[in-house]
Amino acid sequence: MEEHTLCQQVESLLEEKNFVRVKELLPQHPEDIARLIAELEQSTFKLVVFRLVPYDQAVDVFEYLPREEEEQLLSSLTSREVTGILNEMSPDDRTGLLEEMPAELVKKFINMLSPSERRVALEILNYPQDCVGRLITPDFVQLYEGMSVQDAVAHIRSVGLQKETVYHCYVLDNAKRLIGIVSLKKLVLSPPDTRISEIMFQEVIKVHVYADKEEAANIFKRYDLISIPVVDANNKLLGIVTFDDLVDVLEEEATEDFERMAAVLPVDKPYMEASVFSLVWKRSFWLIVLVLFETVTVLVMKKNHVYLQEMVALTFFVPILVAMGGNTGTQSATIIIRSLATGDVGVRDFFRVIFRESFIGLLIGVTLAFVGAFIVSVIQQNSLLSIAVGVSMGVTILLATAVGASLPILFRRLKLDPALMSGPLIATIVDVVGILIYLNIGRLILGL
């Protein structure tokens, strides 16, 4: 049954108060139930459907809901229900929910937690916003090097249901320091009397608790991990981060980069949920900055108005020149920003990248210079003007590729987000410089 059709059917049944039939229609997977709840129009319907969810699925369904839906449900449920949900939620999901709430609500919900869960919640919330410590969960299987495989498997059976994952178990020494990792597969296939120290892998890929979330996500992607241990400065294991949390980080970072590359301030809500006025501000800010930058182009053309009056045909080809320079610069910037994000290019590669992009820009510039000169000769039938436009286009494209490639790397070197060097900003910079190049080359060749 299609989601929209199911939603309509459930709403009709809820209006008829046929709750038994609604319960029968609920999908099997918690994510599908959460999607159904989110699609219901009335908040009372959402609450009723959530209460019809079997007890053993309720927390899973809640964790799949969008943040706004979670907050709305928490405000409608009884204190007992809220207490049960918050204590059963995984620490990382609970942290994501609490960090978006007002301080008064956070304090109220923290006080509803059991002492052990409260300690975990406060510890995670005390980490900086963008560090990997905000994503950790202490629900991992820990083993000790002196254990036998038989004891380790028995331990996993006794605690596994309460843990985030059992596919990888982390081996600690007596001081709780991380010294190895062993997979469930290896445990199952090893002789029962084998010591954990004999089969564990000692070169553990790990991340420091204060590392940036994006850095952890890139390590995750590079090594194809399903979980990664998080340690402090003394190599003490504090928790783990699982792939589902870091997939969300990668999605958030990619969305933020796309927004910045489009000269939009990052929007912290889905498009349809963000207010119109918020979107207007987010999109207007950089556009205002770009208008101020483009004013330089107006001043340059105003300064050269005498020459432009003598050779009006020069102005005919300004749009082509500006467009080609901006497009080429944006191409280079996009490629380099993406390469920085994936780790294919680093700050150390600055001169290699500039040389490579400049050479590419030279080849593209020469090609388009001939194309531009040909177009001018057909339209205007003026050989000197054709040469002026062709040479200007070639030089502008060469410059645009160098600028588009260099600025993102310079921003990375300054510890700023390379995506701030957005396509529109690169295009604006190239516009200004391109007009200067064009007018000066035009004056020189045409003898103005």
User: Looking at the structure, do residues 67 and 196 belong to the same domain, yes or no?
Assistant: no
CB 147 within 8 A of CB 155: yes
Do 107 and 187 fall within a single domain?
no
Which of 127, 150, 177 lies at the terminal end of a domain, its last residue? 127
Query: What's the number of domains the chain is made of?
Result: 3
Q: Are residues 227 and 147 in the same domain?
A: yes
How far are the Cα atoms of 139, 166, 168, 170, 247 from residue 221, in angstroms, in the given order? 22, 20, 17, 20, 9
Instruction: For residues 365 and 362, give the distance between their C-alpha atoms in angstroms, rounded to a whole number.
Output: 5
Task: For the chain, list residues with pLDDT below 70.
Answer: 1-4, 253-276, 278-287, 290, 293, 304-314, 417, 419-423, 447-448
Model pLDDT, residue 220:
83
Integer-rounded Cα Rg, in Å, for the chain is: 30
Find out whether 277 and 200 touch, Cβ atoms under 8 Å.
no
Are residues 155 and 119 located together in one domain of the fold? Answer: no
- Global confidence as pTM: 0.59
pLDDT for 165-223, tens place per residue? 888 999 998 888 999 999 999 999 999 999 999 999 999 999 999 998 878 888 887 88
Q: What is residue 404's predicted lDDT score, i.e. its pLDDT?
A: 84
Give the up-direction half-sphere exposure of residue 62: CA atoms within 13 A in the CB hemisphere.
29
Parent domain of 215: 142-248
Q: Do residues 162 and 95 share a domain?
A: no
Task: Summarize pLDDT for 222-275 with one digit per residue, the tens.
Answer: 888 888 999 998 999 998 988 877 777 777 766 666 555 555 555 556 555 666
Comparing CA positions, the residue from 177, 186, 238, 179 lying closest to residue 204 is 179
* C-beta separation of 178 from 204 below 8 A: yes
Q: Is residue 323 part of a domain?
A: yes
CATH code where residue 404 lies = 1.10.357.20
Element (H, E) at 241: strand 237-242
- Residue 244 is part of a domain; what is its CATH number? 3.10.580.10
Q: What is the CATH number of the domain that holds 59?
A: 1.25.60.10
One domain, residues 101 and 196: no
Cβ neighbours around 312 below 10 Å, total: 8
Query: For 207, phi and psi rounded to 5 degrees?
Result: -140, 145
Work out whether the CA dihedral 39, 43, 49, 55 comes out positive or negative.
positive
